[in-house]
Every structure is written in structure tokens, then in C-alpha cells.
Structure 1
Amino acid sequence: MGEDRLKVDLDDLCWAYEDAYLGNSYYLDIETGEVLFFSDNLTGTEGGPEGIEEIEDEVGDRYIALPRTSPREGYRDMEEFIETVEDEDLKEKLSIAIDGKGAFRRFKDVLNQYPDERERWFEFKGNRTEKRVRRWLEAEDIRREIDCS
């Protein structure tokens, strides 16, 4: 994008990056900074799969498909968060929770019993996501004016 600065909403980008539903797609309009959302569940409406075709025709020129967080990144985040937990009992419960299939659900279930740690997890995860999104913007050479409203 050169020296132009694009105003983008970091919260919108982070939300899109964290959306794990494969039927949803997000694109960044590099002319306006708007994050566009499309879903398989919205047929016949704005944001439905019919509208995505015209966007996909301009991917690379005007639009950039937004990446998603990978399960590997999410798992690594849980592991690294567990290392920051001071309560040894909770640390053990979380370590057991992330072992095997259903790790994400069990991790959240354990944290739901510890509201303070749950809030700390949200902050930890949000910071990690924001760093990844900022790195992605840099990799795409998008000079941005971040709107953190």
C-alpha cells in the first residue's frame, strides 16, 4: 500500500481472526479499511454467499482475505497461559483439561469456575490475537491508522 495510511478497526480485525466457524469469511477493503463479513448462513441477504463472488473477483486488488487463527495457535496460547497461572491446583486442572480431544471446551469449562482467571485469560488471548493481527498487517504491507474505539 505504499505510504498511504489506512484507517482500520483493530477490534473488527481481531474478531474476524478469532472466528472459527468455517462458513464465515472476512475481507479487508484496502480502500476504505472496512472489514466485510460473509456467511453461508445468510443466504439471500447482504453478507450472504451470493455477494462474496464480486469480492473474490477483486481479491488482491481491492480486497484481502483475512486469515484465521489456527487450532495450533489456540492450543499454544492455552499452554502458555497455564504457565502464568499461580494457583497450582488450577494449573493442574487446566493442564489435564487440554489433554486430548475436546481440549478447548474443557479448558473453558474449567476457567468458568474461576472468574478472575477467566478474565485474565480473555486479556491474555486478546493481547496475543492483537499481536498476530498487527504482524499480519505488516506482512501485507498495510500501513494503518488503528482505530481502537
Structure 2
Amino acid sequence: MRKLELTLQQIEQISMLMETDQLGERFYYDVVTGEIDTKGPDDYEWEEEEEGEFAEDDAREVDEEDEELHPEERYLQIPERSSRDGYERMEDFAYSIGAGPVREALLRALEGRKGVFRRFKDKLVDYPEVQQQWYAYEEEKNREAVIEWLESEGFEVTVVAQKRR
């Protein structure tokens, strides 16, 4: 596995894009620079040089070891989380808070088809302490989703306070 350092801010940015309806737009994470862009591997002109190294026509500075990175490995398309995943996350949270009226109210909010996400969040407003637990739970699950995605792409992720230069 290749090592990758991410700040909490970078994880949050990636997570927000996973949560967003991307409306046909694609977002990419550049594992070399740590930047997020709508440009991916197909948007740059690459020339294969000797010994399988790639040179980017775009004028970005990269480390020597990263020059060998194939464009498909450098730019990772950020996946969009499905609404089904979001529903399951809310359901898991509701079951995690223990039996009682709050749990039942949250599970009732998840019944039906249309407006499930809005009903769930509206119901949380009635229970401020549980609402804060939900925000913490969701933040942790978002972080886990980003790390799991990058691990599935072959990276060992380390969360750091600040990127080293």
C-alpha cells in the first residue's frame, strides 16, 4: 500500500463531495498535490517517457518519485454516496441510541418513501442532545467512508494535523 497523509480539512472536503449530488460533474482528488479538481486523468496530456515515467503537460511541480505515477493512479475520482447508504446510516444511528421513545420517533420518521431525510432531520430538532450525537456520528462515519475509499484504492491513510512540506 502507498502511504497518504490527509488533514481533517481534506477529509471533510472529500466527504462533502461524496455527500453532494454531483449532477453529472466529476470531482478528482490529486494524490500528489492534495488538491480537488474537476479535471481528471483524461483532461491532461501525458507523454510517456523512458522507463515508464509520465510527464504532465500542465505546469505543476511534482516530486521525482511522483513523476512515475500513472495518471490513473494520480487522479482518483471521488465517488458519490448513494441515498441508500444515507438511509442506512440514519437507520443504524436510530438503532444505536437504545430502545425508547426517541428511537421509535426516529424510526417512524424513516418510514415511507418521499422526504425521509427531511423528516429524520426535522425529528432530530425535537431532541437537541440526540441531534448533537447525530452530528458527531455522521462526522465520524463520513471520515470512515473517505478512509475506506482511499484504502480500497490502495492507500494507507494517516490523518495529520498539518501536511508536511
TM-score (norm 2): 0.68
TM-score (norm 1): 0.74
Q: Pairwise mapping of residues 7-46 of structure 1 onto structure 2 (< 5 A)? A: 7-8=5-6, 9-22=10-23, 24-36=25-37, 38=38
Aligned to 2:43: 57
Contact 1:6 1:33 in 2 (8 A): no
Q: Pairwise mapping of residues 129-148 of structure 1 onto structure 2 (< 5 A)? A: 129-148=142-161
Kindly report structure 1 stretches of 4+ aligned residues shifted beyond 3 Å. Answer: none
Structure 1, unaligned stretches of length 5 or more?
A: 39-51
Distance 2:115 2:76 in 1: 32
CA displacement, residues 79-131 of structure 1 (integer Å, 9 cap, x when unaligned): 11111224622212111111112111100000012111111011111211211
Aligned to 2:140: 127
Aligned to 1:89: 101
Structure 2, unaligned stretches of length 5 or more?
A: 45-70
Residue 21 of structure 1 deviates from its aligned partner by 4.5
Distance 1:60 1:30 in 2: 11
Distance 1:72 1:114 in 2: 24
Root mean square deviation of aligned Cα: 2.4
Distance 1:25 1:114, change over 3 A: farther
Distance 1:118 1:56, change over 3 A: farther
Contact 1:16 1:68 in 2 (8 A): yes
Greater shift, 130-139 or 87-96, is seen at: 87-96
Distance 1:25 1:120 in 2: 32
